[in-house]
Amino acid sequence: MSEDQFSLTGRQVEFRESCFEYARDVLLPIAEEGALGRVNRPLVAALGAKGLIGEMLHLESAEDRRPISALKLCLVREGLARACPEAETALALQGLGGYPLMRFGSTEVRETWGRRLLSGDAVAAFALTEPDAGSDVGALALAAEPDGEGFRLSGTKVFISNAPDADVYTLFARTSGARGGRGITAFALPGDSPGLSGQPLELISPHPIGRLDLAGVYLGPEHVLGEVDRGFSVAMETLGLFRPSVGAFAVGMAQCALDAAVEHVGKREVFGRPLAAMQAIAHRLADLATQLEGARLLVYHAAARADSEGANATIAAMAKLFATETAQEVVDAAVQFHGAAALVVGHPLEHLYRDVRSPRIYEGASEVQREIIARGLLGKP
């Protein structure tokens, strides 16, 4: 798929469908057996065994530093999300935390973690958010003070996916007093580092997420990702690469909800006729399907642009914004069509209803995406 080719090849569709089928037949049962709100290691291992982590990271070996394909990432994430959002999330988190390690890490970091990450033996995480620094990355305050050849880190991270159970974190800390994005450095932080502690947080969606506390954690120069004081660019490249694929995750969930809605209204009878016979219902489905297809096209357009020209912040923001907002609307409507049955804990739509909410917040809330789009339109830096 190129910038001006708005259709997937047969091979790409087949690959996406194979991800869906693997998620439905293999990954979903594993996800259902896992503890809610904690890392599901068998699920990550199953993703690695299928080669999907390697597909996502586009790495053939721990020594390979090639950028991943944004389009392939979207294919994988949409396919998995249609059947098992937990599997999609586990894969995405492995990529978000693992990509900076493999792209910017020292030889030691890549040799230590590369093969384990690809196989699903080690779990990675992306530790950026702090109590007073969410979408505003430049407000980071966790301090990394020079200590010999390395750094001593102290501070707190919150809402960190896979915390506190991850084996390794891509963590961002302030290494100088420069304001904003300047003076931030990215580090590879082993999960068993002395002085590192944490606890899980409970969300409305059973997402593995937690808090990290660093009390004088020492990291040597070999743990620096990229260059000292240049970690902001590491964060922005990673988020920019993954942002369109958040839209693919949303599209996959929305497609699942729309499929369920179409099936339900076709067989559910009210006042002696199927719900689908009611024009209000049928036309609402038509609108939702149209919005969803538009979201899918925008997501794949953004991914194709990223692969051919490099990430375009404005288009990526449009893709994430439109896809995640559309998914929220589609899932909400599907719940409405099903009525009270969809509100029962354990119903697939009840699960989707909780899962679909967070993508409108993480990796840049919808309001932040609108700001990015507006700045791009107005030519502001």
Catalytic residue IDs: 363
CA 96 remoteness from chain centre: 7
In terms of Cβ atoms closer than 10 Å to its own Cβ (0-12, 13-18, 19+), residue 338 is buried
In the block, which residue shows the tokens 């490099």?
Answer: 310
Helix (H) / strand (E) element for 144: namely strand 143-147
Q: Which residues pair with 170 in a beta bridge?
A: 126, 188
The widest CA-to-CA distance across the chain, in whole angstroms, is 79
CB atoms within 10 A of CB 191: 19
**Which one, of 254, 251, 246, 249, lies nearest residue 368 by Cα?**
246
Q: Cα dist. 181→34, 71, 89, 373 in Å? A: 38, 28, 28, 20
**Which one, of 49, 42, 1, lies nearest residue 22 by Cα?**
49
19/354 Cα distance (integer angstroms): 23
Q: Specify whether the CB–CB gap between 163 and 172 falls below 8 A.
A: no
Q: Specify whether the CB–CB gap between 373 and 318 falls below 8 A.
A: yes
167/81 Cα distance (integer angstroms): 24
In terms of Cβ atoms closer than 10 Å to its own Cβ (0-12, 13-18, 19+), residue 12 is middle
Q: What Rg value do the Cα atoms of the chain yield, rounded?
A: 21
Omega prior to 164 cis, within 30 of 0 = yes
